Amino acid sequence: LVWGCWSLPMLLLAFLTFFLGAWRPGYVISPPQGSYLGDFFKALWGAVRCLDNKKPSDGKGMRCFERLKGIPGMPSDRLLDEFRMMLITSSIFLPFSLFWFANSQMYSWGYNQCNPALKISGWVDCNQIQIMNSLAILVTIPIFDFGLYPLLAKFRVRLTHIHKISAGMVIMGCCLLIMGGLQSYINKQGYYSGPSSTSYVYYDPENYKEHQASVYWQVPIFWLSGVAEVVGNIATLELAYVGSPPSMKSLVMAFGLMTSCGGAIIGFIVNPFYTSSRSIYFQYVTGAITVLMGPTIWFFWRNLRTGRDLMPELFEENLKAVIRTGSMGSLVGQGGGSLMEFRGSLKTSMDGKPGGYEMGSKNAMEALTSLQGSLKKSIQEEGEEEGEE
């Protein structure tokens, strides 16, 4: 069973690599084509230094980045606006770190609770009961996407991303509250003589099996944690992804994954104080705080305006530019030789050969901007020459 669990993912990945690369040709490995991280940290450092261009605000948030426009050495105004809209939309990630703290601690606290206080039944032990989380994710995603959400929409119940994120936090908190309730029952049957869970001693060691709870009492805990991930985590990533400019998608997803890091940092601070005898307090307090964080998120972010809401023109222009770097069809009539060379360079990269531009990459976007600038300049010069004649 152990060898099967470890070898099956390896075999699936090996088959997938073969399927995409050999059996079904078309899998293209594109080399890195520039990164926005350098510009982002440059702008971030400028904001920390409180650089100011002394210009009036446009009233769209992240004023510290807006003040950098026009300052020598800073990124372009367009790129600064994209950074602003990305950060405004990604602000929901800040409180969501608590979600991952509760989720990650559930596994370690759940194992400590199970071993040795719960009765092992059949093939399910204290480790295997936790697969209910993964099973719940696999089962719940199609049920929610094709059943629950369309049903609610049919009855005109409009669920926003903020509603789902808040609900996910509440469900995750309830998981820890249920765990705390189970721990209360365990504490009534015995006590911990030391800091480890293995120090558990029954008050009635001769008849303890009559009152010992089953490991299956942890099924709803880990099942609901999977539901919380489907409801809350997916909605968080969707909101940030949809509300951020097209060229910022990779940075947004990186920030989303950093919420796990935030949860780990909270655990790094909290866990040194954890012992099995104190576990019930950790479970109840963390569960209560996580539940309360749900309505708190709704209250403070219910009127969240994403980057798409604040600057729709930025999204349209950016998306057209990203598409244009791939096809260049709308500029073919204007380009001349330089444009045709740029389109050929893009095609070379998309064919998987080195030396070209990848569609939508930083290098391609900068090349397109430069090319458009030279085209405008040439058109203006032609107009001035005609005017002189």
Mean pLDDT across 98-109: 93
Query: How many CB atoms are closer than 10 A to CB 269?
Result: 9
Q: State residue 97's pLDDT score.
A: 92
Give the SS3 label for residue 201: strand
50-59 residue pLDDT tens = 888 888 877 7
Highest mean pLDDT among 10-14, 44-48, 288-292: 288-292
Residue 114 CA to residue 229 CA, distance in Å, equals 23
Q: What is the pTM of this model?
A: 0.75
- Name the residue with tokens 């997938």: 16
Q: State residue 337's pLDDT score.
A: 44
36-69 residue pLDDT tens = 888 888 888 988 888 888 888 777 777 888 888 8
Residue 267 CA to residue 373 CA, distance in Å, equals 51
Helical H runs in 271-331?
279-301, 307-310, 312-327
199-249 residue pLDDT tens = 888 888 888 888 888 899 999 999 999 999 999 999 998 888 888 887 788
Give the SS3 label for residue 158: coil
> What CA–CA distances, in Å, run from 282 to 94, 179, 197, 312, 332?
22, 10, 14, 45, 64
Torsion region of 204: left, alpha or beta (phi above 0 gives left; psi -120 to 50 gives alpha): beta
| Contact by Cβ (8 Å): 184, 280 | yes
Q: State residue 327's pLDDT score.
A: 47
One-letter identity of residue 112:
N
Burial of 124 (0-12, 13-18, 19+ CB in 10 A): middle
Using pLDDT thresholds of 50, 70 and 90, give the confidence band for residue 167.
Answer: very high
* Mean pLDDT over the full length of the chain: 79
